[in-house]
Structure 1
């Protein structure tokens, strides 16, 4: 590691010469309790890119109603999927594992770390750590395959807000959406094939469930819906399947506004009532399993499908830190590091 030159006498040396690679995902509370969920939800739902209502209208609702009613229910759902061995949320456990698996892959001058947009470890704390370690170049990797203002966009905005305080700003690259990257589609296909081979039945339908967004985001020009559809189309083509066997749906609705349709749970129930007995759900908009996949899909949607007459249900795991998932990350992150890190 080099040190900066021509510093005033007595000034501590500044470490430079390293590249910081920061994986970023959405986040989770520090514990499956209402007291831990409340500040997490306050931070998350106060983000103007997540809830695009005027603050004067939204904040009284958030602080007066939602933060007094929702934390207990949300905490109970986190308790269902909490990693008791690690005493942590699955999302944080998996993202940390992804970061560990990438250590040393891009050469000795690339330091790999991870952060959460909401909760801990914060983007701010990890940026500070990377700068202290001598990183004068940064690659920020929001692990959302499809771009949305409420996901990738808010990570980038927070990054730029934090860097704006710096006098000596690092060179920065951000990972572009990888919804249609050949390595991503290949990883999804390999993961799906492996998961299907492990089932004792053949699904009649496989729903591709993406996180929902308000319909107005599409009308305002957010590319998320189109990128979800392209991921689905490319995966169907890779599998050689028609759209009817692998339809797209959207989950995790919030509030009363219209969201992107069709909605995942009602679609699963409709399929069961129409005679579909064997169903699987895959979530190719999530890079790591989390409450939306482990609780909402694997438990809530499963129960709804079975109650409506279905007989077999499977939630296909996310790519996580699987062999195919890590090969994909090495490929797309290696492209973003080109010229900065050692060749892979």
Structure 2
């Protein structure tokens, strides 16, 4: 087998190039033009996107991004954290001849430019790791689509592998459980209820066969066992609903409001569908939904961090990646 280096590319969703209206508008146009994300006929969706969504939503989203923006690096937190994950994983793989990098599905750095960069470093084989634990066509499949488009323009193509969904992987569940236990122990209160909030999907996509909800439920079931928590203590919910159509439920906002109104005073929210904190975890949960719970009668609210570049998280990513690199490693640890 060739002794050429191996590429290992972490891929997450993406973030606008700036927290201003125009940058967010460009980002949303790219994101919401993906047929995997909005699978309506273009003749129907395009006028709605251009005349309504891209007129009003960027201003609101820009305000939200500014509240969590990494001013020092001038970038969104998702990009900062994904870079940190790649940088901290790199030395763990260097002895194996593996070059670690990161890309974003939307905005930059793009999957195509990072495949080109790894190829320029001599990588004839590349492992792509979509950082979505639960499979959805709008996330995991979109990464595969974009990688295929990048390869389509190349005469000499690298061999690609893709890390499969890891929603039930013991390494991931163990990391989630360890992180959750540590963060709960550090709180100055004991939550009456924990909510596991996953990003929502339009129910129509689930009805057409997307396994996403089943994957989320499997993650939660395994996490309940690992934490030894009953279903009534660790509850399932879905956030980030967009538009007026039916999405997967129950909605996190509704669950929190109903808990507060029924007398629950202390809650914590964790997000097992995200491996890195982003707008949806930091602002939607940490600001918007916190405010909703407290103004509805709640007294204590905690947002638990994602795994990010913690040792628990890095160990899980490394374990999963090493399994998928099996047979490719060219030196060092096997």
1:122 corresponds to which of 105, 110, 116: 110
Instruction: Specify the alignment match of 1:54 in structure 2.
Output: 41
Instruction: Specify the alignment match of 1:217 in structure 2.
Output: 205
Give yes or no for the alignment of 1:85 onto 2:72: yes
Local SS of the residue matching 1:247: strand
Cα shift at 1:108: 4.8
Q: How many Å separate the matches in 2 of 1:69 and 1:231? A: 35
User: Is there any run of 5+ residues in structure 1 with no aligned partner, and where?
Assistant: 3-15
Cα shift at 1:84: 1.9
Cα shift at 1:338: 1.0
1:8-23 matches, cutoff 5 A: 17-23=4-10
Give yes or no for the alignment of 1:95 onto 2:82: yes
Task: State whether residues 104 and 110 of structure 1, in contact with CA within 8 Å, keep that contact through their aligned partners in structure 2.
Answer: no
Higher share in helix: 2
Instruction: Specify the alignment match of 1:331 in structure 2.
Output: 319
Q: How many Å separate the matches in 2 of 1:164 and 1:336? A: 24
Task: State whether residues 26 and 117 of structure 1, in contact with CA within 8 Å, keep that contact through their aligned partners in structure 2.
Answer: yes
Q: How many Å separate the matches in 2 of 1:81 and 1:208? A: 21
Task: State whether residues 140 and 175 of structure 1, in contact with CA within 8 Å, keep that contact through their aligned partners in structure 2.
Answer: yes
Q: How many Å separate the matches in 1 of 2:198 and 2:207? A: 18
Cα shift at 1:167: 2.2
Q: How many Å separate the matches in 2 of 1:64 and 1:311? A: 41
Q: Deviation digits for residues 285-334 of structure 1, max 9, x if unmatched?
A: 00100000000001111000001100000000000000100010110011
TM-score (norm. length: structure 1):
0.94
2:241 corresponds to which of 247, 253, 273: 253
1:57-206 matches, cutoff 5 A: 57-106=44-93, 107-206=95-194
Which structure is larger by alpha-carbon Rg, 1 or 2?
A: 1
Q: How many Å separate the matches in 2 of 1:313 and 1:127? A: 42
Q: Deviation digits for residues 220-265 of structure 1, max 9, x if unmatched?
A: 1111000000000000001111101011000000111100010001
Hey, which bits of structure 1, 4+ residues long, moved more than 4 A? Answer: none
Instruction: Specify the alignment match of 2:226 in structure 1.
Output: 238
User: Is there any run of 5+ residues in structure 2 with no aligned partner, and where?
Assistant: none
